[in-house]
């Protein structure tokens, strides 16, 4: 009997790649998504890659009554991977109430239903944003959680606290919080990938859209940081590597191998890459020039961050395996397919 996993936000960027890996690993998957930042095209891509079209229900996790009905209709539900959340840092500054309502209440409703229906394991999508600008690098899971730089980052911090308090109160729950660094790239088939609505906030889709001629030029936000080439440094992780970490985490919880009821893991490559290095690498691996210009720093940006991956490698038993070269190439192949570029 296949184990049934609920993936909230499963038509989104990281969610759809995780659904592919879950299906490949022999799980049954059901997706809940409100399609506020994705489309059902990702279901087509998942089906083309795996040969299986996962169950899909379109509704908002803020609709508690509907969520209750969902849980009642799926008594065999084994575990949950929770991606559904608003995630644009800049937008969260303009619309804080939307971010607090959506990101906090959706988790609260989910946890309520898990307790009532005795569904125990949950993998939560967190972010390295919660560390702010770490004082020490690479950053470990024990690094202090600094005051969030944005409402988005604050919702991730508060959600981790909601998880911790819920686990203390209801011993039926057990959770793993995965703290992503910077997810980039696309599935090697180029059938699923990142589909930012409107002008991208994140660097790599901006690079690929500039390379494709969709955008006129990439603005590089600052080259006066205290880094070798002056541009900011991040830990860019391949989205398929990231997806596989979720399968490893859910297996760990289902098998009861977690060493405490709530575990945290940093998911990165352990390597820092500057903006300028990323652009140069993209141009080298694709042979396509990226028209770019240095401008002033972006408000809220930190200078440099990359992960200490020891705990994820040794305790979780997961390691990122894709190089930056092949990851940027996968992003470019996805963009070319989107724009019908040969």
**Of 129, 258, 327, 333, which one interacts with ligand WQD (CB under 6 A)?**
129
Q: Does 127 bind ligand WQD (CB under 6 A)?
A: yes
From 152, 225, 236, 264, active-site residue: 152
- The smaller minimum CB distance to ligand WQD, of residues 120 and 210, is found at 210
Q: Report in angstroms how near the CB of residue 209 gets to ligand WQD at its nearest.
A: 10
Distance between CA atoms of 148 and 198, rounded to whole angstroms? 26
Q: Collapsing DSSP states into helix, strand and coil, what is residue 187?
A: coil
Q: Report in angstroms how near the CB of residue 70 gets to ligand WQD at its nearest.
A: 26
Distance between CA atoms of 109 and 102, rounded to whole angstroms? 11
Q: Does 87 bind ligand WQD (CB under 6 A)?
A: yes
Indicate the pairing of strand 236-238 with strand 233-234.
Answer: unpaired
- Helix/strand/coil percent split, the chain, to 5: 40, 20, 40
- The smaller minimum CB distance to ligand WQD, of residues 92 and 120, is found at 92
* C-alpha angle 271-188-175 in degrees, rounded to nearest 5: 60
Q: Report in angstroms how near the CB of residue 219 gets to ligand WQD at its nearest.
A: 6
Q: Does 315 bind ligand WQD (CB under 6 A)?
A: no
**Whether the Cβ atoms of residue 305 and residue 269 lie closer than 8 Å to each other:** no
**Of 30, 123, 159, 232, which one interacts with ligand WQD (CB under 6 A)?**
232
Q: Is 152 a catalytic residue?
A: yes
User: E strands within the chain?
Assistant: 4-8, 28-32, 55-57, 77-82, 121-127, 174-180, 182-184, 218-221, 233-234, 236-238, 262-267, 273-274, 292-295
- The smaller minimum CB distance to ligand WQD, of residues 186 and 275, is found at 275
Q: Report in angstroms how near the CB of residue 206 gets to ligand WQD at its nearest.
A: 4
Q: Does 85 bind ligand WQD (CB under 6 A)?
A: no
Alpha carbon separation from 203 to 39, 172, 185, 232, 235 (Å, rounded): 22, 40, 11, 11, 12
**Whether the Cβ atoms of residue 205 and residue 236 lie closer than 8 Å to each other:** no
Which 8-67 positions form the footprint of ligand WQD (CB under 6 A)?
none
Q: Please give the size of the binding site for ligand WQD, defined by CB under 6 A.
A: 19
CA–chain centroid gap for 200, Å, is 15
The residue to which tokens 């999508």 are assigned:
125
**Of 102, 155, 157, 182, which one interacts with ligand WQD (CB under 6 A)?**
182
Q: Does 275 bind ligand WQD (CB under 6 A)?
A: yes
**Of 40, 50, 105, 201, which one interacts with ligand WQD (CB under 6 A)?**
201
Residue 196: closest CA among 13, 42, 17: 13
**Of 22, 23, 191, 203, which one interacts with ligand WQD (CB under 6 A)?**
203
* Catalytic residue positions, numbered: 152
- Binding interface with ligand WQD (CB under 6 A): 87, 89, 127, 129, 180, 182, 201-203, 206, 218-221, 232, 234, 275, 298, 301
């Amino acid at each position: 009997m296949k184990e049934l996993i609920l993936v909230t936000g499963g038509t989104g960027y990281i969610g759809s790649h995780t659904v592919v890996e879950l299906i490949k690993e022999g799980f049954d998957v059901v997706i809940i998504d409100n399609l506020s930042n994705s489309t059902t095209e990702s279901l087509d891509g998942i089906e083309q890659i795996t040969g299986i079209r996962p169950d899909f229900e379109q509704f908002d996790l803020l609709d508690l009554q509907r969520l209750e009905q969902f849980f009642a209709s799926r008594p065999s539900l084994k575990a949950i991977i929770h991606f559904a959340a608003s995630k644009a840092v800049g937008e969260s500054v303009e619309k804080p109430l939307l971010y607090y309502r959506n990101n906090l209440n959706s988790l609260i409703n989910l946890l309520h239903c898990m307790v009532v229906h005795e569904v125990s394991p949950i993998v939560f999508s967190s972010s390295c944003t919660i560390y702010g600008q770490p004082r020490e690098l690479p950053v470990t899971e024990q690094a202090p959680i600094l005051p969030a730089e944005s409402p988005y980052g604050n919702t991730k911090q508060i959600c981790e606290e909601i998880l911790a308090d819920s686990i203390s109160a209801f011993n039926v729950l057990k959770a793993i919080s995965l703290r992503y660094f910077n997810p980039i790239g696309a599935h090697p088939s180029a059938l699923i990938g990142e589909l930012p609505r409107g002008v991208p906030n994140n660097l790599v889709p901006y690079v690929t859209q500039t390379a494709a001629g969709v955008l006129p030029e990439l603005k590089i936000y600052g080259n006066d940081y205290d880094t070798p080439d002056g541009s900011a440094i991040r830990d860019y992780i391949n989205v398929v590597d990231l997806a596989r970490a979720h399968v490893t985490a859910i297996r760990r919880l289902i098998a009861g191998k977690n060493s405490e009821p709530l575990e945290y893991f940093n998911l990165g490559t352990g390597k820092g890459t500057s903006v300028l290095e990323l652009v140069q690498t993209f141009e080298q691996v694709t042979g396509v020039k990226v028209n770019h210009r240095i401008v002033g720093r972006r408000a809220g940006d930190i200078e440099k961050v990359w992960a200490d991956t020891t705990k994820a490698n040794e305790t979780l038993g997961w390691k990122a395996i894709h190089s930056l070269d092949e990851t940027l190439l996968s992003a470019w192949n996805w963009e070319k397919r989107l724009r019908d570029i040969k």
